Amino acid sequence: MYTISKKIKDNFPALAIYKSSERDNLFAGRSLPAFVKDYIIKRFSDNSGVIDNEAVREYLGTKMNNDGGSIRQKLLKGEKVNITCRFIVHSDLKAGKTAFDVADVDLQTDAYIMPSIIESHSDDLIDGENWGNITMEYVEPEGRKKGYVNMTSYRPFNPYTVDLDYFLKARANFTTEEWIDVLIASMEYDPDSFGSNDDPNTIRRKLEFISRLLIAVEPRLNVIELGPKGTGKSYIFNNLSKYLWLVGNGGTTRAKMFYNRATKQFGFMKTHDAVMIDEVTTFDIKDDEVRSMLKGYLESGKAAVDGVLFQSECGLGLMGNIALTDSMEPVSSDYYRYLPGVFRDSATLDRFHVFLKGWQMPRLGIGNILRGWTLNVEYISEIFHCLRMRPEYATIFEDLVSYDLYADLRDLKAVKKTATAYAKLLFPHVLNVNQLDDEGLSKYREEYTRYCLVPAIEKRQIIREQCHLLDKEYRREMPTFSI
């Protein structure tokens, strides 16, 4: 790991962070996502990666105080409490207010967000989990009215301003194989633990692993991943970005997912870059209205609720387990049977663009954990968020790729979106192929084929095969794509 670790530090001196067991020990007993930990460590580290442990402890004890007893006492004394924390927003229909609950602190009283704060941050403060700096004040009982807590200020957790040009120039200093290792390191895993890059199987495993990031860089990319336990599916989407939302097992409602008629608030499909449904085998939607809305949304990114147009660029991902043989291959080819009923319909399944073979990814253990320099998780998540809406990468697909003019439109859309997402991940520094010289263009065409186009076709091919197994109306074969 030394070589790529040093190269990351040399090329991103202000944005690299050193991951170590010492760092992990500082947060023992606290459930913090990686993007928050990295922000704190970067704030209190010097350029050589040495952490000011005392400063971290002081920050955790003040700005991230999770001692519910002391917080409640301060509020009762009339003190303002300002902390950076995880909190849950939920609509209190009985009170007609937007309520909140600090996840790690039991307030033991009603707590509400002031309307002016909601109005100023309507895109952030919707039902569900959030991160930010908040100020709380206690309002004492009056007559028959109980005491309650008000959130009087809110600042979203957004510590970095992204200089995309700087990032693109630094990326140009890495080979493609090195950059794949950078991406794996940014996911907090040691790329060397995957095997030697001289082995083609290692590159295949690494590419499949970083394919989990596709949904973070491409708008409305719909992904399915089925695989064994212990490959880090849930960890990645719980920890690496505040723009990704992980839905637990069970189910959901139209109000939470799309639009709440009572509060007139949009749901989590509006306010995040991507939503991942975890343990999808236990997930289902019984409401026919929501099923219909979801099916339409997967196709066009639009839905309607009581005349209100819902429109979003949020992608949807499904993650779940699949039965495997002793040789770690699926016991049967009908993968769709591990999906809940709402997604086991061929017309709905056809709206997904990518299928990830989780069984090709390594089981992750202590030996896979990164120890060395890598990119700050919060920084790289902001880069991914910034790349989502950049149009240049889709233009590159049209400039390079030829395809059957009679290709199924969903196949074409899926391959284009997926290849474009790979280009954003792996070759973000190439914005226009016309600016490449002959040698550079030849190399780019070769690598684009290997790392973008072929994987995109293969991942859509699996979706196509599953639709064929469900409904023979769907052809098994994919249209032809070529550079």
Res. 108: pLDDT tops 70: no
- Is residue 318 left, alpha or beta, with left meaning phi > 0 and alpha meaning psi from -120 to 50? beta
At residue 107 the predicted structure's pLDDT band, cuts being 50, 70 and 90, is low
| Cα gap 284→297, rounded to integer Å | 16
Region 161-185: mean pLDDT is 94
Tell me the fold of 189-368: Rossmann fold (3.40.50)
At 206 the pLDDT is 94
**What is the 3-class SS of 149-178, one letter each residue?**
EEEEEEEECCCCCCCHHHHHHHHCCCCHHH
Q: What are the structure tokens assigned to 278, written together?
A: 């975890």
Q: What are the structure tokens assigned to 326, written together?
A: 């002793």
Region 137-166: mean pLDDT is 88
At 460 the pLDDT is 97
For residues 4 and 370, the answer to whether their CB atoms sit within 8 Å is: no
407 burial type by CB count under 10 A (0-12 exposed, 13-18 middle, 19+ buried): middle
- Taking all residues of the chain, what is their mean pLDDT, rounded to a whole number? 88
- 114-137 per-position pLDDT tens digit: 999 988 887 778 777 788 899 999
For residues 348 and 284, the answer to whether their CB atoms sit within 8 Å is: no
| Cα gap 193→140, rounded to integer Å | 57
| Of 187-201, 213-227, 233-247, 401-415, highest mean pLDDT | 213-227
Return the amino acid letter for 346: S
At 426 the pLDDT is 98
- 10-62 per-position pLDDT tens digit: 999 988 988 887 677 888 777 788 888 888 888 888 887 788 889 988 888 88
Region 328-343: mean pLDDT is 91
Res. 1: pLDDT tops 60: no
Res. 241: pLDDT tops 90: no
Res. 183: pLDDT tops 70: yes
At residue 153 the predicted structure's pLDDT band, cuts being 50, 70 and 90, is very high
Q: Which residues have a Cβ under 8 Å from the Cβ of 114 and sit 6 or more positions away?
A: 150, 151, 152
Region 72-99: mean pLDDT is 86
Q: Which long-range contacts (CB under 8 A, 24 or more apart) does 151-154 make?
A: 151/100, 151/111, 151/112, 151/113, 151/114, 151/117, 152/80, 152/114, 152/117, 153/82, 153/117, 154/113, 154/117, 154/120, 154/121, 154/124, 154/125
At 262 the pLDDT is 74
pTM of the model: 0.87
| Cα gap 138→147, rounded to integer Å | 7
CATH code for 68-156?
A: 2.40.50
At 467 the pLDDT is 94
At 434 the pLDDT is 92
Determine what percent of the chain is predicted with pLDDT higher than 90: 47
Res. 444: pLDDT tops 70: yes
Q: What's 328's DSSP letter?
A: S
Res. 109: pLDDT tops 70: no
Region 60-74: mean pLDDT is 84
| Cα gap 50→396, rounded to integer Å | 42
CB neighbours (10 Å) of residue 86? 20
Res. 230: pLDDT tops 90: no
Return the domain boundaries, the chain: 2-63+160-180, 68-156, 189-368, 390-482
List the single range of 139-148, 282-291, 351-360, 472-481 with lowest mean pLDDT: 282-291
User: Pairing state of beta strands 302-305 and 308-311?
Assistant: antiparallel
* Residue 19: its H or E element: strand 16-19
- 16-25 per-position pLDDT tens digit: 988 887 677 8
At residue 353 the predicted structure's pLDDT band, cuts being 50, 70 and 90, is very high
